[in-house]
Amino acid sequence: MSVQRWKRILSWIGLVIAVAIGGLLLSIPFDALIGSGRVAALTNTTIPGPAGPIRAFVAQPDTPGPHPAVIMIHEWWGLRPDIIEKATALAADGYLVVAPDTFRGASTTWIPRAIYQVTTTPLEQVQADLDAVFAWLTARPDVLADQIAVIGFCYGGRMSLLYTLHNPAIAATGIFYGMATVDPGALGQIRGPVLGIFGGADASIPLSEVEQLERNLKAAGVDTRFLIFPDQPHAFVGGIESINAGGAPGEAWQALRAFLSEALRQTPASQLPLPAGSPGSSAGSVWGMLHHRFVCGW
């Protein structure tokens, strides 16, 4: 093959790559345009924030307060219906749950835009917005100000750990398949227990990093409960329909319920009612089974 022909082939390959990259870049503002009302459609509350109102979905228990509270942080997609479902389900256990929009109006189902959202949103901005949400909760008469937890999924799991380090007043932390590089020496300021839920087949988070974080937390004296679900990929806990179907998503959710019950309500997990359609006989029995199966190697 002649040199000239090779040059033409390489030119065409370069053109195809340039078009593909250009299409991906253009798809980000296009997705933003067609999805501009997604967050507004999912939220029911605005919270005063450092750069204007923060939109959030708030789920409240049916019983009178004051209640423990949970800040639930969404995945890298932004606020989506599955987070609303999980917040509503937790409220039925007696928590006031707030799911804030930490991307300030952005939500997507398109991976390039999800990557863009995560990489262009400064950590300081997220923490400032979460500070505003935390202050809003502590000012409410129906919230127990010293019993506020933060939990998150994927990007939100990472942020839940980072926010607990930023705000040691957090009473409990739940990390669903989120990983953050943190100074082990800083972990000692965490005052509440930490729950970690991870998938054994998660290609994005090496188990060696999960195990190292667990060791660092325990070495810092933090009450640490990590559960690794074999054969489960990243983001295996979806909406309530998948949770109620049982299996690993249902077990992970029951572990969260038991963890929050003990950490915030000081209520034995065995006293938790199961939602309709959930597997198992009680949240307490599920937590006990998971503890032996995944922590003790059973």
pLDDT at residue 14, as a whole number: 54
pLDDT of 23 reads: 45
- On the question of pLDDT at 35 being above 80, the answer is no
pLDDT tens digits, residue range 119-130? 999 999 999 999
The least confident of 31-40, 50-59, 112-121, 270-279 is 270-279
Is the pLDDT score of 44 beyond 70?
yes
Query: Is the separation of the CB atoms in 96 and 142 below 8 Å?
Result: yes
Q: Which of 204, 193, 164, 211 is nearest to 256 (CA)?
A: 193
Tokens of 193: 């227990």
- Give the chain's mean pLDDT: 85
Say whether pLDDT at 133 is over 80.
yes
- In the structure, what pLDDT confidence band is assigned to residue 110 with cuts at 50, 70 and 90? confident
pLDDT of 22 higher than 70: no
pTM, 2 dp? 0.84
For 127, 181, 288, the CA distances from 295, given in Å and listed in that order, are 32, 23, 10
Higher pLDDT among residues 180 and 221, named by residue: 221
Q: What's the pLDDT band for 285 if we cut at 50, 70, 90? A: very low
Chain position carrying tokens 């198992």: 280
The residue-averaged pLDDT of 256-277 equals: 70
In order of 260, 289, 291, the CA distances from 296 in angstroms are 21, 10, 7
Query: What integer is the mean pLDDT of 2-24?
Result: 51
Rounded mean pLDDT, 22-32: 50
Chain segment 218-260, per-residue pLDDT in tens? 999 999 999 999 999 999 999 999 999 999 999 999 999 999 9
Q: Does residue 169 register a pLDDT over 90?
A: yes
CA–CA separation, 127 and 138 (whole Å): 16
Q: Are 96 and 69 in contact (CB under 8 A)?
A: yes
pLDDT average, residue stretch 93-105:
97
Return the pLDDT at 18: 46
Residue 110, both tokens = 């398109």
Tokens of 206: 């090496």
Instruction: Write the burial class of residue 242 (CB in 10 Å: 0-12 exposed, 13-18 middle, 19+ buried).
Output: middle
Q: Is the pLDDT of residue 115 over 80?
A: yes
Instruction: Give the count of beta carbons closer than 10 Å to the beta carbon of residue 71.
Output: 24
Closest alpha carbon to 23 in 112, 154, 120, 93: 112
Going by C-alpha positions, the residue among 257, 252, 296, 290 that lies closest to residue 274 is 257
Token pair of 153 as six digits: 């999924």
Provide the percentage of residues in the chain whose pLDDT is more than 70.
Answer: 77
pLDDT for the residue numbered 109: 82
Of the given ranges (2-11, 51-60, 150-159, 200-209), which has the lowest mean pLDDT?
2-11
The whole-number pLDDT of residue 131 equals 98
Q: Which residue has the higher pLDDT, 293 or 281?
A: 293
Q: Which residues contact 290 (CB under 8 A, 6 or more apart)?
A: 227, 251, 254, 255
16 has a pLDDT exceeding 60: no
Question: What would the mean pLDDT of 255-275 be, rounded to a whole number?
Answer: 75
Q: Which residue has the higher pLDDT, 58 or 269?
A: 58
